[in-house]
């Protein structure tokens, strides 16, 4: 597998910490100090599908292709307005592709899970060009009266077109079932036969627990991948990490004993956009000319599940 093109899209409205102070018992100072986030993008007139389609079109264009060249679409998504059909089906129609498609939900680690699935399809000779779209609206999962959670998230979409190559040096996926640290129970339609009341709740998060698990698991994944591949840290150009919290990124960097310049971030502008965060950052880096052919990138993401995913990828564009 190798990456052929990337794209991203964000809602037009930027919501600053100061804007949150107007209705929440919070402050720009608290949010900045604890998370590094200064603003996040939130949907107003847009729908998530609009962002997904924009990101997809940019990635296809960047790869020098048309939608007709795609033979598989994987969409990483936790929630969107439609329970069914899958968001990937709606994207397929909107961009004018005709290939099979499916959605996956590996929470914030979804992009790397999707890269791994794409790698398998390409290796098996079942596809030539695969579109991965990570489109997320976590701001629709949180209670906007809960300062513990709503300040952390933003909406967005990131996409990549991948094709055959040997850029993927290793992948590491882990899942440990620990619902209690991060979950949302959505409301489903009642039936006349259900026993008892079914509860639903906006996002519930044990922030400190998530923080510690994210830091320890991501650091362990990165060390294990470097040891497995024999890649020396000095050969790594960038660590492209899930953008949940600048302090999480800093803690991982500290444990790896690495330089800040190797840890690009945009969490200050977008907040946590779930699985879209890694491809959005990758696309911004690519378009800003920060990536060169042959660069070794270490990616790592973590989220609800608890799920982690890491990979080492050579930039080949
Ligand atoms: N504004 C002001 N105060 C806030 C606040 C906000 N937005 N959110 C929480 N607080 C308060 C808490 O109520 C608590 O007050 P108390 O001591 O009176 O009870 C205090 O700040 C400290 O909370 P604490 O949980 O100890 O802070 P923290 O240093 O752990 O930071 C997080 C909280 C959520 C920023 C941090 O734990 C975190 O980032 N966790 C990971 C979250 C994450 O990334 N989730 C998604 C993973 S994919």
DSSP secondary structure, 94-143, as one string: HHT--S-EEEE--GGGHHHHHHHHHHHHHHTTS-SEEEEEEEE-GGGTS-
pLDDT at 180 over 90: yes
Give the per-residue pLDDT at 209. 97
| pLDDT at residue 219, rounded to an integer | 98
Query: What's the pLDDT tens digit per position in 72-109?
Result: 999 999 999 999 999 999 999 999 999 999 999 999 99
Phi, psi of 257 (to 5 degrees): 65, 40
| Ligand 1, atom 33, residue with closest C-alpha | 207
Strand (E) or helix (H) holding 270: helix 267-270
Q: Whose CA is nearest to atom 3 of ligand 1?
A: 26
State pTM to two decimals.
Answer: 0.97
The tokens describing 204, both together, are 């519930």
Neighbours of 99 (CB within 10 A): 17
Tokens standing for residue 163:
């094709």
Domain with residues 2-165, CATH architecture: 3-Layer(aba) Sandwich (3.40)
Q: Please tell me the predicted confidence (pLDDT) of residue 197.
A: 86
Question: Band of the pLDDT at 117, cuts 50, 70, 90?
Answer: very high
Q: What is the pLDDT of residue 260?
A: 98
Residues in Cβ contact with 71 at an 8 Å cutoff, skipping those fewer than 6 apart: 99, 100, 127, 128, 129, 130
How far apart CA 3 and CA 131 sit, in angstroms, is 10
75: Cβ contacts below 8 Å, ≥ 6 apart: 52, 86, 87, 88, 91, 101, 102, 103, 104, 132, 133, 134, 135
CATH superfamily of this structure's domain 171-178+204-314: Thiolase/Chalcone synthase (3.40.47.10)
Are the folds of 2-165 and 171-178+204-314 the same? yes
Q: Tell me whether residue 108 is one of the annotated catalytic residues.
A: yes
Instruction: Determine if ligand 1 sits within 6 Å of the CB of residue 208.
Output: yes
CA 220 vs. chain centroid, Å, equals 19
Mean pLDDT of the chain: 97
Inform me whether the pLDDT recorded for 297 exceeds 90.
Answer: yes
User: Ligand 1 within 6 A of 138 CB?
Assistant: no
> For residues 302 and 106, what is the distance between their CA atoms, to the nearest angstrom?
9
Residue 47: active-site member: no
State the distance from the centre of ligand 1 to the C-alpha of 271, rounded, in angstroms: 14
Q: How confident is the model at residue 196 (pLDDT cuts 50, 70, 90)?
A: confident
Tokens of 292: 């060169």
Determine contact, residues 200/185, Cβ cutoff 8 Å: yes
User: Domain boundaries in the chain?
Assistant: 2-165, 171-178+204-314
């Amino acid at each position: 597998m190798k990456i052929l093109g990337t794209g991203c899209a964000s809602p037009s409205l930027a919501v600053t910490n100061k804007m949150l102070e107007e209705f929440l018992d919070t402050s720009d100072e608290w949010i900045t100090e604890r998370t590094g986030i200064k603003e996040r993008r939130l949907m107003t007139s847009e729908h998530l599908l609009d962002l997904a389609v924009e990101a997809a079109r940019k990635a296809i264009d960047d790869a020098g292709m048309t939608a007709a060249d795609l033979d598989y679409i994987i969409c990483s998504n936790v929630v969107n307005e439609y329970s069914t059909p899958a968001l990937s089906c709606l994207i397929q129609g909107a961009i004018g592709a005709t290939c099979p498609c499916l959605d996956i939900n590996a929470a914030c680690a979804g992009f790397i899970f999707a890269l791994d699935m794409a790698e398998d399809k390409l290796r098996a000779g079942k596809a030539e060009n695969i579109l991965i779209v990570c489109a997320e609206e976590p701001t629709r999962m949180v209670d906007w009266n809960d300062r513990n959670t709503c300040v952390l998230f933003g909406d967005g979409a990131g996409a990549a077109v991948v094709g055959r190559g040997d850029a993927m040096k290793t992948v590491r996926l882990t899942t440990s079932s620990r619902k209690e640290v991060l979950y949302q129970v959505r409301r489903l339609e009642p039936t006349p036969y259900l026993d008892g009341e079914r509860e639903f709740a906006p996002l519930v998060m044990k922030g400190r627990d998530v923080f510690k698990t994210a830091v320890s698991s991501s650091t362990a994944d990165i060390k294990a991948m470097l040891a497995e591949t024999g890649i020396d840290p000095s050969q790594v150009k960038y660590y492209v990490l899930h953008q949940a919290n600048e302090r999480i990124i800093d803690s991982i960097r500290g444990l790896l004993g690495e330089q800040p310049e190797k840890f690009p971030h945009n969490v200050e502008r977008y907040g946590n956009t779930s699985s879209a965060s890694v491809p959005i950052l990758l696309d911004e880096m690519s378009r800003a000319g920060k990536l060169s052919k042959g660069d070794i990138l270490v990616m790592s993401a973590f989220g609800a599940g608890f799920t982690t995913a890491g990979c080492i990828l050579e930039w080949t564009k």
